[in-house]
Amino acid sequence: MAISGVLGYPRIGANREWKKALEAFWAGKLDQTAFRQTLREIRIQHLRKQQEKGIDVIPVNDFSYYDHILDTAAMFGLIPKRFGYEGGPVPLHVYYGMARGTKDAAACEMTKWFNTNYHYIVPELNGVSPAVTENKPLIAYREAKAELGIEGRPVIVGPLTFLKLSKGYKPEETDEWLNRLLPLYVQILKELAQEGVEWVQIDEPILVTNVDAEDRKRLQLIYNTFKASAPGLKIMLQTYFESAEDYTDLVRLPVDGIGLDFVHGYAGNIQAIRLFGFPADKVLGAGVIDGRGIWKASLQEKLELLKELEGHAASDQLIVQTSCSLLHVPVTVIEERQLLPELKGALAFADEKLDELVVLVKGLTAGEASIASELEACEKSLNALRLSDERNRTAVHQAVAAINAQEARRKLPFQERYSLQQKTWRLPLLPTTTIGSFPQSAEVRKARQLWRKGEWSGERYTAFIQEQIDTWIRLQEEIGLDVLVHGEFERTDMVEFFGEKLSGFAFTQFGWVQSYGSRCVKPPIIYGDVAFEAPMTVNETAYAQSKTVRPVKGMLTGPITIMNWSFVRDDLPREQIAYQLAYALRQEVEALEQAGIGMIQVDEPAVREGLPLKKSDQADYLAWAVKAFRMTTCTVKDSTQIHTHMCYCEFHDMIASIEAMDADVISIETSRSHGELISSFEHNTYKLGIGLGVYDIHSPRVPEIEEMTGMIDRALRVLDPKLFWINPDCGLKTRGYEETAASLRNMVDATRIARQKYTLLV
318-322 and 283-289: which strand pairing?
parallel
CB-based contact 133:74 (threshold 8 Å): yes
Q: Establish whether 647 is an annotated binding residue.
A: yes
Q: Where are the beta strands (DSSP E) in 392-490?
A: none
Task: Please check if 488 is assigned to a binding site.
Answer: yes
Q: Report the residue count for the chain.
A: 762
| Contact yes or no for 378/298 (Cβ under 8 A) | yes
Spacing of C-alpha 268 from chain mean position: 24
Specify the amino acid at residue 334: I
Q: Which DSSP helix (H) or strand (E) runs through 5?
A: strand 3-5
For 615, other C-beta atoms within 10 Å of its C-beta total: 11
Q: How far apart (Å, rounded) are the C-alpha atoms in residues 750 and 327?
A: 44
Say how far apart CA 257 and CA 238 lie, in whole Å: 8
The reply, when asked if residue 324 is annotated as ligand binding, is: no
Nearby residues of 612 by Cβ (< 8 Å), 6 or more positions away: 115, 242, 618, 621
**Is 46 tagged catalytic?**
no
Q: Which of 397, 652, 674, 698 is catalytic?
A: 698
Q: Was 425 annotated as part of a binding site?
A: no
Residue 520 annotated as part of some ligand binding site: yes
The reply to whether 112 sits in an annotated binding site is: yes
Contact 515, 521 (CB under 8 A): yes
Q: Is 730 annotated as a binding residue?
A: yes
323 phi and psi, to 5 degrees? Answer: -70, -25
Long-range contacts of residues 188-194, Cβ cutoff 8 Å, at least 24 apart: 188/75, 188/132, 188/135, 188/137, 188/138, 188/156, 189/226, 189/229, 189/230, 189/233, 190/229, 190/230, 191/135, 191/138, 192/135, 192/137, 192/138, 192/141, 192/154, 192/230, 192/233, 193/230, 193/232, 193/233
3-state helix, strand, coil in the chain (%, to 5): 50, 15, 40
435 annotated as a binding-site residue: yes
Task: Please spell the DSSP secondary structure of 519-581, one letter per residue.
Answer: EEE---EEEEEEEE-S-SSHHHHHHHHHT-SS-BEEEEE-HHHHHHTSEE-SSS-HHHHHHHH
437 is in an annotated binding site: yes
- Give me the amino acid identity at 480: G
DSSP SS3 for 513: strand
Query: Quick count: other Cβ atoms within 10 Å of Cβ 392?
Result: 12
Residue 519 marked in a binding site:
yes
Q: Is-contact 274 303, C-beta < 8 A? A: no
Q: Which neighbouring-strand residues pair with 643? A: 601, 665
**C-alpha distance from residue 185 to each of 200, 259, 289 (Å):** 12, 20, 30
Let me know: does 208 contact 229? Beta carbons within 8 Å.
Answer: no
**Cα 408 to Cα 417: distance, rounded to the nearest angstrom:** 16
Q: With helix as H, strand as E and coil as C, how does 257-318 read?
A: EEEEECCCCHHHHHHHHHHHCCCCCCEEEEEEECCCCCECCCHHHHHHHHHHHHCCCCHHHE
State how beta strands 234-238 and 199-203 pair: parallel
Q: Are strands 513-516 and 519-521 parallel, antiparallel or unpaired?
A: antiparallel
> Which amino acid does the sequence have at 311?
G
**Is 588 flagged in the annotation as binding?**
no
SS3 call for 442 = helix
Does residue 564 have a known ligand-binding role? no
Q: Is 97 annotated as a binding residue?
A: no
- Is 269 annotated to bind ligand? no
Which residues are documented as binding site for Zn(2+)? 645, 647, 669, 730
Annotated binding site for L-homocysteine: 435-437, 488, 603
Catalytic residues: 698
Please state the residue numbers annotated as binding site for L-methionine. Answer: 435-437, 488, 603
User: Per the annotation, where are the binding residues?
Assistant: 16-19, 112, 117, 435-437, 488, 519-520, 565, 603, 609, 645, 647, 669, 730
Binding-site members for 5-methyltetrahydropteroyltri-L-glutamate are 16-19, 112, 117, 519-520, 565, 609
